[in-house]
Structure 1
Amino acid sequence: MAKQTASVPAPARRRLSWNDPATRALFYQVVVVGIVGFVVWYLVSNTLHNLSVRNISTGFGFLQREAGFAIGESPIAYTPADTYGRAVWVGLLNTLRVSIVGIVLATLLGTLIGIARLSKNWLVSGVASVYVEVMRNIPLLLQLFFWYAIITENMPGPRQALEPVPGVFISNRGLLLPSLQGDALDWILGALGLAIVLIVLLGHWARRRQAATGQIFPLGRVAIAVLVALPLAGWAVSGAELALNVPVLKGFNFTGGIALSPEFTALLLGLVIYTSAFVAEVVRSGIQAVGQGQWEAANALGLPRSRVLRLVILPQALRVIIPPMTSQYLNLTKNSSLAVAIGYPDIVSVVNTTLNQTGQAIEGILIIMAAYLTVSLSISIFMNWYNKRIALVER
């Protein structure tokens, strides 16, 4: 006996009717898109018309012209004879330099202060609380002015420079540090990069090993040994020259070493101190979000408090800490634009000089917007990837 298959009813044809919610929603969306498109067209056409009336050229062709102005500090070679495009690139690199260093230092300092606020020692927790409440309630711009005034006006000149550590000098010209120079430096940096890759691979292997056998691999001590041994081995194998370049006072200023300008130092201090207060609150709230039972269970196993915090609490707190921490990283990066107030040549300062000389105000603003948008989106993408990586997986 043949089986009878149920017939599938044909889908009903949708009629366009104002009583249909989907039709109304589509109509409203078309109207909104049309209004937005009209506003954009009006603004662009009006701007182009006004520029043409005033005989102001548009486009980014000016980036290929000679800049003709100097930049106080540059991580790459730059002279006034270079193009505006290279000048903008120098400003972007200066912004990236202070942002990356600031993010690392603010994370370390903020984490320590956040943990200190939870200390059972009332003096430690009290000092950390005062630090957080004071620093995050003083505007960042005022902090930048304060640190810049301290460095440029209250620090001694180069001849009376402070030397807290042999080879390290602090004066109104900034902070000077010893540096390494020689042909072996490339080998050392290559070995350092290899050591970092090896430590990451060891970390993955150690986690799999611990999950399978329960045995803890001493990754911290091994990582320190690898970071020291591989660069030394690279220097020994290369057989090249390596020397320590210590700053030396010659005339009215220092020569040699690494010089951090007063503007860079003041900007970095302000960003790190201000942002670390917010990072501390993020870390504190993340730790407190972990249930008290986790502390009690770890203490019942006889683990010391430092190991409980490192192995039990912080890994769980990271899932709460990472999202707001991303916002703080973005805030630090965008707050670096205040560098123009103390004369640090970041991308805002360089582009301002460029548009004052060329008159290309719209193009200059677009360059600044595109630069910060690209950097901010890159930070967001990386932090979102890391947040997904450490998220709990439901089974």
Structure 2
Amino acid sequence: MTTLDTGPAAAPRVAFYNDPVIRGIIYQVVVAVLLVTFIAWIVGNTATNLAAQNKTTGFDFLWKTAGFDISFSLLPWSRGSYYWEAFLVGITNTLLVAFIGIILATMLGFTIGIARLSSNFIVARLATIYIETIRNIPLLLQLFFWYFAVLKAMPAVRESLALPLDIFINQRGLMVPRPTPDQEFTWVLVTFGLALAGAIALGIWATRVRTLTGKYPREVVLAGKVADACVTFLVAFTALFILFSVAFPLSHAPLVAAVVAVVLAAFSLTRFAAISRGVLTFLIAFVLLDTIVGAMFAWVPSLLVSVLSAMIALTIARVGYVGALSRPPSEARFPLALLVLIALGVPGLVYWLTGATLVFEVPVLQRFNFVGGLQLPPEFVALAFGLTIYTAAFIAETVRGGIQAVSRGQTEAAQSLGLKDGDRLRLVVVPQAMRVIIPPLTSQYLNLTKNSSLGAAIGYPELVNVFAGTSLNQTGRAIECIAMVMLVYLTLSLLTSAIMNWYNARVSLVER
């Protein structure tokens, strides 16, 4: 008896609704239909309610006269301006406070975060107290404190507090000198951009050469030594000129300052470079302390202020002198002074050759207010200061976590090479920690930008206050105004994320 081989048995048929592929398509179609239906219902319901209230929709209101005042604006504004101009004013005011806040919060946050890991007990505890106090107090409450308890408690206009560099502060805000460049100064700005790009390119090239050969190009090293001497001369001459012209006036202040600056510059090229650096550190610290402390505490005798400033400056100078002794030779240092000299010296030469002028209009107190200069309202100062202080506390914790995420073996390896604490942190630890720091740091930048909307609570004319507040109330176009404001914040957030993600990709480690 024989059997017939009919081949492999046919697979049993499966119902189409049990097919995973078809079932997935069905689920997606159902979700899409429900979403479209929900959106259509929302739109229809909104249109019906607006029609019942005799309200119209559209963006034609943007070309109507606003008819209200804005206390602070970077763009020209008057009561006869249009609503689209009010929209632009709100955006620029928001960008201004966000840009300043991000820069200052980053600098302060990195400083506090590193300070919390300091081996100095007092520094570490002060940083911890700052972080734990600031980040646990609501931001809105902090803004109220800086605005009502600090700035509004400042003296009246006629009793304004005088700060260095012709800066004054009172109840009406901060008065600072206004730069007024002429037409020729445009060439200086163009030259500065080109010189900065050239300096960056030179630095990248020199770094690549050192990576390949183990040392910087000889031409760059020689030019770096000359640049060190030039920068030393310029800084020393400026500090000495201020010292001999303001603090301790001399009859021939420019000549004396030039002679001493030449000596310090010459020492910077010899084995006495550490002494030159220590003296230069003392001059800078003393001039800054004597000027700032003397302006803030005018009731203290000037001699006492000078003595205290000199004592503190000596302590700082000792640190600079010890740091200079441990500095590697010029052949092994990145030519930072050369890049700075290119970026600033070339535009300075163009400024002198073209005869361009940059005059600062100084605020002058008249009968009832200051005339001239640039007046920063207290709302802007309070918002920028509050956002900086608050966000810096979170950035500090991000920095601390990123540094602690770096393997301890990396730190020990850098220490075995003889690197000092500052060099280990700058060259080894922080570059590796950045790949951990960048993602949460991006979130803090986004939070700062969005938190600027709290400026409406203290009267700062940012986007929410100007457009989603005053403009919305006057026009009644709630949907249009809110949608435009949401679109602006969404765009700013996406741009910030894109930039930070690009940078994160540049600093991330490449796996092999």
Same fold (TM over 0.5): yes
Q: Which residue of 1 aligns with 2:186?
A: 186
Contact between 1:151 and 1:172, CA under 8 Å: does it hold in 2? no
1:120-199 to 2 correspondence within 5 Å?
120-183=119-182, 184-199=184-199
Contact between 2:203 and 2:339, CA under 8 Å: does it hold in 1? no
Tell whether 2:366 aligns with 1:250: yes
Q: Which residue of 1 aligns with 2:400?
A: 284
Contact between 1:151 and 1:171, CA under 8 Å: does it hold in 2? no
CA shift in 2, pair 1:250/1:187, >3 Å? farther
SS in 2 for 1:18: helix
Counterpart of 1:261, as a letter, is P
Counterpart-to-counterpart distance in 2, 1:191 and 1:57: 53
Once the two structures are TM-superposed, the CA of residue 16 in structure 1 deviates from its matched residue by: 6.5
Counterpart of 1:193, as a letter, is G
Contact between 2:151 and 2:382, CA under 8 Å: does it hold in 1? no
CA shift in 2, pair 1:132/1:295, >3 Å? same
**1:273-314 Cα distance to aligned partner (Å, 9 max, x none):** 000000000001101111111111111111111011111111
Which sections of structure 1, spanning at least 5 residues, go unmatched?
1-11
1:1-395 to 2 correspondence within 5 Å?
17-183=16-182, 184-215=184-215, 216=332, 218-351=334-467, 352-395=469-512
**1:93-142 Cα distance to aligned partner (Å, 9 max, x none):** 00000001100000000000000001000000000000000000000000
Counterpart of 1:90, as a letter, is V
Counterpart-to-counterpart distance in 2, 1:192 and 1:174: 32
Question: Over alpha carbons, which structure has the higher Rg?
Answer: 2
CA shift in 2, pair 1:15/1:385, >3 Å? farther
CA shift in 2, pair 1:179/1:227, >3 Å? farther
SS in 2 for 1:180: strand
**1:143-172 Cα distance to aligned partner (Å, 9 max, x none):** 000000134431111211111314111111
Counterpart-to-counterpart distance in 1, 2:80 and 2:335: 51
The count of aligned residue pairs is 383
RMSD between superposed Cα atoms in Å: 1.7
Which sections of structure 2, spanning at least 5 residues, go unmatched?
1-10, 216-331
Counterpart-to-counterpart distance in 1, 2:181 and 2:116: 45
CA shift in 2, pair 1:375/1:16, >3 Å? farther
**When the two structures are superposed, what TM-score results if normalisation uses the length of structure 1?**
0.93
SS in 1 for 2:179: strand
Contact between 1:206 and 1:217, CA under 8 Å: does it hold in 2? no
Counterpart-to-counterpart distance in 1, 2:190 and 2:158: 38
**1:13-45 Cα distance to aligned partner (Å, 9 max, x none):** x98712212222221111111111100000001
Q: Which runs of 4+ in 1 moved over 4 A?
A: none
Q: Which has the higher contact order (CA 8 A, sep 6+)?
A: 2
Report the more deviating stretch, 290-299 or 135-144: 290-299
Report the more deviating stretch, 377-386 or 198-207: 198-207
Counterpart of 1:228, as a letter, is L
Counterpart-to-counterpart distance in 2, 1:230 and 1:306: 31
SS in 2 for 1:345: coil
**1:327-386 Cα distance to aligned partner (Å, 9 max, x none):** 000000000000100000001011111111111011010011001000010000111111
Counterpart-to-counterpart distance in 1, 2:480 and 2:66: 15
Counterpart-to-counterpart distance in 1, 2:171 and 2:214: 55
Q: Which residue of 2 aligns with 1:6?
A: none
Counterpart-to-counterpart distance in 1, 2:376 and 2:442: 27
Counterpart of 1:323, as a letter, is P
Counterpart of 1:169, as a letter, is F
Counterpart-to-counterpart distance in 1, 2:171 and 2:339: 38
Contact between 1:340 and 1:349, CA under 8 Å: does it hold in 2? yes
Counterpart-to-counterpart distance in 1, 2:49 and 2:381: 43
